[in-house]
Amino acid sequence: MLDYDPLHPPNWQDPYPTYARLRDEAPVHYAEQTGTYCVSRYEDVSRVLRDPETFSSVGAFEIMMKARSSSIGPRDVFEIARFLYRSRLNPLRMRKKPPVSIITSDPPQHDALRAIVNRGFTPRQVRSWEPRMREIVDGCMHKLRSGEPFDVVRDLAVPLPVSIIAELLGVGPERHADFKRWSDDIIAGSSGSTRTETLAPFLRAMGELTSYMRDVADERRRKPGDDVVSILVDPQHGDALDAGVLAQFVIVLLVAGNETTTNLIGNGTKALLDHPGELARVLDEPELLPNMIEEALRFDAPVQFVFRRTTRPVELAGTTIPESASVTVLLASANRDERQFEEPDRFDVSRETKGHLGFGLGIHFCLGASLARLEARIAFESLLPELRDLKRSAAEAPFVDSYLVRGLHRLELVPTAEVLREG
C-alpha cells in the first residue's frame, strides 16, 4: 500500500521512483492526510487538464492554504491586519466577491482575463526583450569570466528572470531585491516546510507587493510607459484590469514566472553535468539547444504538479472521484510515464519531447512559456561553452524547500583539474 501525500512528499531529493510506483500501483491515489486525489499517468493527467468543465481551477489551489498554518499566533493576527491595510482589501467585500486570479478561474471569466493579459506577452513583445536579456546574462557571466567563484543558481539563474519580470512590469532596479524576497517568502510561506509555523513572512510579502503594485498601477494610469502594467491598465486597448485583479496577476507573474525559470536553468545545468555525454552532444551540435531545454522541462519539471477541483462525480482510471474533490495533477510524473515516453528516466537531448507537460496543457497553458524558453536559451548559449572547463564543487546540491516547485538552491562550479594544471 502506497503512502504518498503531495504536500508531504516522502523523498523530495528524488520523487521519481515514488511517481513510478503511483503510475503502476495506484494511478488515481487518494492521499488521506491532505484529502486529495493524485493523478499520475500521462493519459489521465492530459484528460484532466483538457476538461476544465469537470476539473475546475476555481478554489483548486486553496488546498495549499488549508495545509499551511495550523495555529495562528499574535504575530500572525498583527500581520493579517497589516496585510489588509496595505493591500486596501475589505474582508467583508472579499467574502462576497473574492479578487479573481487568472490561474484560479474558469471560462468564461478565465478567457476574458487571458485575452487581456495576452496583450502583454505577444511574440513580438517577447522578442523585443531579447537584447536586454543578453545584456543581463553578459553581466552575470562577467563574474565567471573574471575567475570569481560562480554559482549557476545564485549568479545567473536567479538574477535573470527576476530582473526581466521586474523590468517588464516597469519596476526600477532599486526594488529588484524586494521582488526576489517577496517571491521567496510567498513560495516558502505557501509550500515550504516552515509554512506550518507562522503566516507572518508570507502575509508581509503579499501585503508589500500588493501595495507596491497598486502604486505602480496608479502611476501608469497617470503616465503610461511601454511596460506590461501600462498595457494592462490602459482602457484604449479594450477592457483594462482593475487594481485588485492587477495585483493578483502580478503575484501570479512573480511566483509563476520567477522561481520556475530559475529552476529550469538550474535543473537543466544539473542534468547536463550529471550526463556528460549529453553535454558533449549539445556542445558539438548547438542546434540541439532548444530541444535540450524542452528535455530539461520534461526530465525534471520545475512545477511538479497543479491542482483542480471536480464539479461533478467522475471516473478516472477505474476510480470514482466525488464531486467537489481536490485533485493533484502530477505533471512531473506524467512526463516520466513509460506509456508515453520511451525510456523516460534517460536524459536525452535529442529525444522527441513533443507533448511534455512542463508548461501544463489546455486553457491554462503557461502564459510565459515563450518568455521562459527565450531566457533559458540565452542563458545556456553563454553558459554552455564554459561548462567544458567546469565541474560542480560539491556532489550533492540541495533542492529548494518547497513541495511544489523543484529546483536547486545552489550549484557552485569550479575549474576542472585539467584547467587548473594548465593555469
Residue span binding ligand HEM (CB under 6 A) among the ranges 1-9, 251-259, 319-327, 338-346: 251-259
Name the residue number minimizing CB distance to ligand HEM. 368
Distances (CA, A) of 395 to 274, 392, 414, 418: 10, 7, 12, 18
Residue span binding ligand HEM (CB under 6 A) among the ranges 73-81, 358-366, 377-385, 412-420: 358-366
Reported residue count of the chain is 423
By CB under 6 A, name the one of 15, 99, 244, 302 that touches ligand HEM.
302
Site string for ligand HEM, 202-241 (x = CB under 6 A): ----------------------------------------
**Torsion angle defined by CA atoms of residues 287, 291, 15 and 185, in that order, rounded to the nearest 10 degrees:** 90
Residue with smaller CB distance to ligand HEM, 168 or 200: 168
Say whether residue 36 binds ligand HEM (CB under 6 A). no
Residue 108, preceding peptide bond in cis (omega within 30° of 0): yes
Residue with smaller CB distance to ligand HEM, 198 or 299: 299
Smallest distance from ligand HEM to CB 421, Å:
37
* Segment (H or E) for 379: helix 369-387
369 φψ region: left (φ > 0), alpha (ψ -120 to 50), beta (else) = alpha
Smallest distance from ligand HEM to CB 51, Å:
12
Residue with smaller CB distance to ligand HEM, 303 or 387: 303
Q: Take residue 258 and report the three cell numbers written for it.
A: 520567477
Say whether residue 114 binds ligand HEM (CB under 6 A). yes
Say whether residue 64 binds ligand HEM (CB under 6 A). no
Say whether residue 256 binds ligand HEM (CB under 6 A). yes
User: Which residue type does 339 have?
Assistant: R
**Region 359-378 residues binding ligand HEM, contact defined as CB under 6 A:** 359-360, 364, 366-368, 371-372
Q: Take residue 220 and report the three cell numbers written for it.
A: 501608469
Please tell me whether residue 80 adopts helix, strand or coil conformation: helix
Please name every residue paired with 415 in a beta bridge, in sequence order, or none if there are none: 390
By CB under 6 A, name the one of 189, 192, 358, 407 that touches ligand HEM.
358
Q: Take residue 271 and report the three cell numbers written for it.
A: 542534468
Say whether residue 257 binds ligand HEM (CB under 6 A). yes
Say whether residue 264 binds ligand HEM (CB under 6 A). yes
d(CA 132, CA 128): 8
Question: Taking the CA of residue 4 as centre, how many other CA atoms within 13 Å lie in the half-sphere pointing to its CB?
Answer: 28
Q: Take residue 286 and report the three cell numbers written for it.
A: 548547438
Please tell me whether residue 243 adopts helix, strand or coil conformation: helix
Smallest distance from ligand HEM to CB 417, Å:
33
Smallest distance from ligand HEM to CB 190, Å:
14
Contact 38, 330 (CB under 8 A): yes
Task: List contacts with ligand HEM (CB under 6 A).
Answer: 57, 102-103, 114, 165, 252-253, 256-257, 260-261, 264, 302-303, 306, 331, 358-360, 364, 366-368, 371-372
